[in-house]
Amino acid sequence: GAFKLGLEYFSANGPQGIKLISDTGVKIFLDLKFHDIPNTVAGAIKAILDLQPYMFTVHLSGGYNMLHKANEVVKEYCEINSLKKPIILGVSVLTSIDNNDFLSLGIKGKVEDQVIRLAKLAKDAGLDGLVSSAKELQIIRKEIGQDLILVTPGIRPLGGEINDQKRIVTPSQAINNGANYLVIGRPITASNDPRKSLDDLSKEI
């Protein structure tokens, strides 16, 4: 597994904050969801590669050119600097978004239709994996097969708080649906007894 550090942590602590944790020897999942024009994303990715993240994220809605550029710059930079290539994950549809949100965004169709389109885009652009709700895992596996690593956020234990997530599942459901990695945040970090919460999650898994 790895420790996921996202925008909130990065904004407060910057690259040095990432390095402090990385220097302890743990793996880092750097969840910054890069999304901009191809050259800007490429420059931003170069700036974080020396931190040697285990995984990092880009938004699939940035389009093929952005994703392809991201993949190429990672391979080139890591080869030149003798770094281990991180896993590049494409973020499909945020787990806080549902079909009603799609209507307000002017997107036709259902969330799962968009997730499949973006999963195919991730594969075409050469990315390693995909971040998506476990509710779409089975259809992704059916349409894409085993080619992509699937990382699943929106994990909540039985009886847990939903918070701002809309498309959530339990850990065991996610694994049964084909997830390779689970992202589990607030059920542990917001707990009065994080160790017990982690133990309870492990027992369910």
φ/ψ of 120, rounded to 5, equals -65, -35
Three-state SS at 131 = strand
Match 């009603």 to its residue by tokens: 100
φ/ψ of 149, rounded to 5, equals -75, 130
Nearest to 182 by CA among 162, 157, 160: 157
The type of residue at 89 is: L
State yes or no: is 33 an active-site residue: yes
Alpha carbons 59 and 17: distance in angstroms, whole number: 23
Residue 11, burial from CB neighbour count under 10 angstroms (0-12, 13-18, 19+): exposed
Phi-psi region of 82 (alpha: psi -120 to 50; beta: other; left: phi over 0): left
Alpha helices in 23-136 (DSSP H): 38-49, 64-80, 99-105, 111-124
Which residue among 4, 19, 33, 135 is the active-site one? 33
Q: Annotated active-site positions, please?
A: 33
